[in-house]
Structure 1
Amino acid sequence: MLTAYYVHRLPADYETTRIHARARERGARWDDAQDLYFKAFLLREAGQYGASENSYASFYLWRGDAALRSFLLDGHYENVTKIFGRAPIQTQLAIDARRGTATTARFARLDEIDIPADANLHATLLQEIEQNRVEAGQRDVVARAISVDTLRWRITRLTLLDSVPETNEPNEPNPQSGASTLFQVVHLAKPLLHTL
C-alpha cells in the first residue's frame, strides 16, 4: 500500500464554496476507482478549526504502485494542475491501514512526527502499527492509515473522523504526534475502504 498527499495553498480571498462544488462534481468519479482504498478531498478555511489560511488537499490510500502510476500517466493529476498548479506529491509506504466503525468522515487529522535518529526503527514501526490498531477502534473513527517517509524518516498518521477531535488543539505541535493539521472532509471516495 502507498499513500499520496498534496496541498494547494489558496489565496486569502478564495471562494471556498468552489472547493465544495468541485468535490461534489469530481468526487463521484473516484467512487469506483480501481485499486484505491480511499481518496479524501480536504479543505482548510482560514478562521475555522484553527486554520490560518485557505488550502485544498487530497489524500489517497492506494493498493500499490501500479495504481499511483496510472493516476499520473492517465492524466488524473493533470486535471488538478490545470486549475491549481503542480504541487509536490508526498508519496509514502503505508505500513498499516484500518477501517473504523464510524461511517461519515467529516474531519481529517494529519499528524507528522520525525523518527529520532537514535530510535530503534523496528520497535518504533511496530509501536505505530499497534497504536493504529487501537486508535482505529475508537467510536468516531472512519479510517486510519500510518505511512512512513523513508527519505526523511517521518511517520504520517491520517485519521478520518466523524467529529472534531476532542484532544489537543488542532494545528499545534504535540510531543507525541509532532505537527498536526485538521482538515474538513468535503468528500470521501471509498471504493475499497470496506476491504481494510
Structure 2
Amino acid sequence: MHAMQYEITLPADYDMGIIRNRVATKGHLLDDFPGLGAKAYLIRERGVDDSPVNQYAPFYLWNTPEGMNSFLWGPGFQGIVDDFGRPEVQHWTGLAFAEGSAASATTSSAAKSAIRRRMRIPARTHLGGLAEELALEADRLARQEGAICAATAIDPRTWEALHFSVWDHTAPKEPGDVFQVLHVSAPEQGLLTRGRQW
C-alpha cells in the first residue's frame, strides 16, 4: 500500500463552492480506476474545525505503484496541474490498514470527515517498535464508533509518520488536521491488505 496526498492551499476569500462543484462533476471519474484502493476528496475551510486555510487536499491509498503512476502521468493529475499549478506530491510507504465499524458504508454519502496527523520521528526512535505502535494505532482508530477506515504510513526520506482515518460523522476529538470529505472513490478498497504490511 502507498499513501499519497497533495495540498492546494487557496486564498482566504476563495469560493470553496468551486471545489465542491469540481468534485461533484469529476469525482466519479476515479470510481473504477485500476490500482486505486481509495481516494478521499478532502477540503478544509478557513475557520471551520480550526482550519487556518482554505485547502483542497485529496488523499489516496494505492494498491499498486502502477496505479499511482498511471494517475500521476495521466489526464487526472494533469487537470490539477492545468488548473492550479503543479503541487508537491507527498507519499508514504504503508504500514497498516484497518477497516472500521462503519466500513460497509464506504460511500460518498457516508463519509463525512477525515483526520490526518503527521509526526516527525526523532532520530533515536527504534524503528521496529515504532512500526508496531503505528500498526496498533490504525487498529485503535478503526475500532472507534463511526470509523470507516484507518491507515498508518511512514515517509523514510523525511522520517515522518502519518495517521489517516475516515469517519461517517463529524470527526472525533483526535489530534490532527480535520478535513471534510466531499466524495470517496474506492474501486479496490477490498484489495487493500489488512493489518500490518511487513
Task: Please tell me whether residue 184 in structure 1 is matched to residue 180 in structure 2.
Answer: yes
What is the CA deviation profile of residues 141-191 of structure 1, one whole-angstrom value per residue up to 9, with x for unaligned ones? 1111111000111111111011223325xxxxxxxx6xx211101111111
- Tell me the number of residue pairs that the alignment of Structure 1 and Structure 2 aligns: 186
Q: Distance in 2 between matches of 1:163 and 1:182?
A: 12
Partner of 1:114: 120
Aligned-pair CA distance for 1:26: 1.1
Aligned-pair CA distance for 1:101: 2.2
Partner of 2:144: 138
2:7 aligned counterpart, secondary structure? strand
2:79 aligned counterpart, secondary structure? helix
Q: Distance in 2 between matches of 1:156 and 1:186?
A: 21
Task: Please say if residues 96 and 146 of structure 1, whose CA atoms lie closer than 8 Å, have aligned partners that are also in contact.
Answer: yes
Amino acid at match of 1:116: P
- Gaps spanning 5+ residues in structure 2: where? 193-198
Q: Distance in 2 between matches of 1:118 and 1:41?
A: 36
Partner of 1:28: 28
- Gaps spanning 5+ residues in structure 1: where? 169-176
Q: Distance in 1 between matches of 2:101 and 2:24?
A: 24
Task: Please tell me whether residue 7 in structure 1 is matched to residue 3 in structure 2.
Answer: no
Amino acid at match of 1:154: E
Partner of 1:127: 133
What is the CA deviation profile of residues 100-141 of structure 1, one whole-angstrom value per residue up to 9, with x for unaligned ones? 122221111000111111111101101111221222121211
Aligned-pair CA distance for 1:35: 1.1
Q: Distance in 1 between matches of 2:171 and 2:61?
A: 22
Partner of 2:71: 71
Amino acid at match of 1:155: A
Aligned-pair CA distance for 1:74: 2.0
Aligned-pair CA distance for 1:37: 0.9
Partner of 2:190: 194
Compared with structure 1, are the counterparts of its residues 11 and 23 closer, same or farther at alpha carbon in structure 2 (3 Å cutoff)? Answer: same
How much identity, in percent, do the aligned residues show?
Answer: 28
Task: Please say if residues 114 and 171 of structure 2, whose CA atoms lie closer than 8 Å, have aligned partners that are also in contact.
Answer: no
Aligned-pair CA distance for 1:18: 1.1
Aligned-pair CA distance for 1:194: 3.2
Aligned-pair CA distance for 1:68: 1.2
Partner of 1:174: none
